[in-house]
Structure 1
Amino acid sequence: MGQLSDGESTWVINHARSSEYNEKELSYFSKDEINKVLKFQKTHPLYTNTPLESLPSLADYLSVAEIRVKDESQRFGLNAFKVMGGIYAIGKYLAEKLGRDIESLSFSELQSSEVRDQLGDITFISATDGNHGRGVAWAARELGQKSVIYMPKGSSKQRLNAIREEGATAAITDVNYDETVRICAKLAEENGWVMVQDTAWEGYDEIPLWIMQGYSAIAQEIIEEMEVQKEKPPTHIFLQAGVGSYAAGIGAYYTQYYRDDPPKIVVVESNLADCYYRSFSNSTGTMEIVSGDMNTIMAGLACGEPNKRAFRILKQYAWASYSCADHIAALGMRVLGNPLLNDPKIISGESGAVPLGLLFYLRAFENRKACEELRLNETSRILLISTEGDTDYQSYLDVVWKGFYPNE
């Protein structure tokens, strides 16, 4: 492991990454598998590809070849990407309960009274910072089912209300995210409810895998669009990690798709929930857990226990991990919301904007050693995914208008 610090922000190069491919693990994220996922997601009438924006003026300013940002604020009208995992996982669960292949089912068929009668009443339960829970609640309501959603201590009341507006029974706990997950798992077992969580543990691995595959469909969308445009693939992808399911799903898809020359995957975390950074930093490369309060504005990343499958994938294929203070996320929000010249404006929330904040920090503030270690230079083609919009509207205004969390 190679650990570096500039005194303010900290990163680690993952020397445990493998040059050999785990074919069994990657087979879950093959083009054929994710085609099935995307095919089902597209059966919902509200499905549409989210915009893949190019920021050439910012790329020039930061002296890189290209910056592209996938704007997930426009996903299913829910202002975040998380529904891509929830809609597929719930659909896949119902397909298996019906004894059907999900390829033979559409969302509208699952909504039919005939199928509804076959399935009976089902309650889905999940722990969330807001975006995942809203996606689960939305999918459950769309299918005529119930949902129960719990949020960790310190969660946004606006995000709680948005979940309740989707018909869920929802509340904020007095414990952190990982403890909230355990509360939900216990309630699911006691009540016969179905847990829909992207965190995997012993005996609970199938639904988290389906959620990861749902996230991977975003990568396929991007690749399909860039191939139509005859654009070169990215050299670097900066991916947010909480439990790591999203980062691993996207990273695994790109790794297997471009296996002869895969992009460098950079894991981006809050410094208050940096379990991947700490795991990559230790001498053995074993998985580490962060506990206690995680009072970061990056609520979607405030998770201290990695998904075990996600950890295996990212340990094998991620190039580096970066531990970011809140002001890095705030910087990204301001840059995306105030574009240069003719670059498009992107409304990005705290967890959505941190990869761009990190890229800007590394290039504009001349963090040369970090750029050298990441091989980030004027030939680099950067892909970022803004995973959420202004899901906490007041917080967004506080950062972008009032200047909360200034650069230190």
Structure 2
Amino acid sequence: MNIVSYCPNSLRTGAADAADVGLYGPEVARVARTFHEGFDRYAATPLVRLKNLAHDLGLGEIMVKDESQRFGLNAFKVLGGSYAVARHLARLLDMPMSRVSPQLLRSAEVRKKLGKITLVTATDGNHGRGVAWTAQQLGMGATVFMPAGSAPVRAENIRKTGAQCTITDLNYDDTVRLAMQHAQQTGGVLVQDTAWDGYEEMPLWIMQGYTTLALEADEQWRECGLRPPTHIFLQAGVGSFAAAALGYFTAVWGDAAPQAITVEPQAADCFYRSFMAGDSASHAVTGHMRTIMAVLACGEP
């Protein structure tokens, strides 16, 4: 496993070429959380204090956001997919997100107005399950493609929601391209957390959905009376979660934001390679990426 410490200057609020971290800030996060609160099973996942480990390592605090309890799906990814779908439907309905809720979207009136919709995505597991769960909750169809080597139990969990799920003989990035082609050919709605030229809005909405997690964590350690953390560890597959969380905390604290440390599998170390190259370009890992960190086996940042 590669662990890379990296906090890009382009995310700093004072930089001339600064990214618009307001896209992931508290105001956006509160809108996303309000939508998520509309699901019956919503509850803020716990921020767990690992006191003994912190003591053994000589650190003040170690805290872990326990996403095993998120909507009963054992993963945070549903936050992104569900919010992105809601944003897409809000646009179709010509409604502001402040008026959109799961209850509204599954109402007979709205379903009749929207007609039949099928969500399409590629996944290593958790994102696809979240999209399929969202389709089930809102009365839609879902088609999910998984890369070669995916665990059959992950595919079966996706099928239990009523979605179609196929394990391909392709790697993750080629499976994303397959999902894109399928959506184009069938008129489905592609809900993908990987961005490319011409496909950036849906991934942005997915990233904004992840800020619910960051907002919860922010409120939780403040409620504990703790100072802001000095370091934050963020897992990176294609990078959408890591960028969204870092965007939130940079929007909140600016130059005082925690140092971000990205974590990824050694067999899929596209961010490590990109950071080490130092040329501001993305560098991909190709071929089949064998790792037990299956849901992070993504070769293209």
Give 2:219's aligned residue. 224
- Runs of 4+ in structure 1 over 6 Å off: none
Paired position in structure 2 for 1:43: 38
Tell me the residue number matched to 1:209.
204
Superposed displacement of residue 25, structure 1: 2.0
Q: Out of 44, 48, 65, which is 1:70 matched to? A: 65
* TM-fit CA distance, 1:262: 0.8
Which of 1, 5, 9 aligns to 1:17? It is: 9
- Who is 1:147 aligned against? 142
Q: Say which of 167, 172, 175 aligns to 1:177.
A: 172
Q: Summarize the Cα distance change of 1:45–1:10 in structure 2 as closer, same or farther, 3 Å threshold.
A: closer
Q: Aligned equivalents of 1:187 and 1:115: distance in 2?
A: 26
SS at match of 2:24: coil
Number of positions where the alignment pairs a residue of Structure 1 with one of Structure 2: 298
Moved more, 17-26 or 188-197: 17-26
- Structure 2 length normalisation: TM-score? 0.95
* Cα separation, 1, equivalents of 2:220 and 2:54: 20
What TM-score do the two structures reach when normalised by structure 1?
A: 0.71
1:112 aligned residue: 107
Q: Which residue of 2 aligns with 1:198?
A: 193
> What is the CA–CA distance in structure 2 between the aligned matches of 1:13 and 1:134, rounded to whole Å?
30
Show structure 2 runs of 5+ residues with no match: none
Q: 1:128-147 to 2 correspondence within 5 Å?
A: 128-147=123-142
C-alpha displacement at 1:12, in angstroms?
5.2
Partner secondary structure for residue 207 of structure 2: helix
Match of 1:27 in 2: 22
Inter-CA distance 88–283: structure 2 relative to 1 (3 Å threshold): closer
Does the CA-based 8 Å contact 1:12-1:281 persist in structure 2? no
2-side partners of 1:59 and 1:171: how far apart? 43
Q: Structure 1 residue aligned with 2:153, among 158, 182, 203?
A: 158
Q: Residues 45-87 of structure 1, C-alpha deviation per residue, up to 9 Å, x if partnerless?
A: 1100011110111101111111001100100011111100011
Q: Which amino acid aligns with 2:188?
A: W
Q: Once the two structures are aligned, what percentage of the paired residues are identical?
A: 48
Q: 2-side partners of 1:283 and 1:260: how far apart?
A: 21
Candidates 231, 243, 247, aligned match of 1:252: 247
Unmatched runs of 5 consecutive residues or more in structure 1: 1-8, 307-408
Whole-angstrom distance in 1 between the partners of 2:5 and 2:261: 9
* Structure 1 residues 12 and 260: CA distance shift in structure 2, 3 A: closer
Query: Is the Cα–Cα contact under 8 Å of residues 232 and 259 in structure 2 kept in the other structure?
Result: yes
Using a 3 Å threshold, how does the CA distance of structure 1 residues 202 and 57 change in structure 2: closer, same or farther? same
In structure 2, the partner of 1:239 is 234
Residue 200 of structure 1 aligns to a residue whose secondary structure is coil
Distance (Å, rounded) in 2 between the aligned partners of 1:12 and 1:70: 20
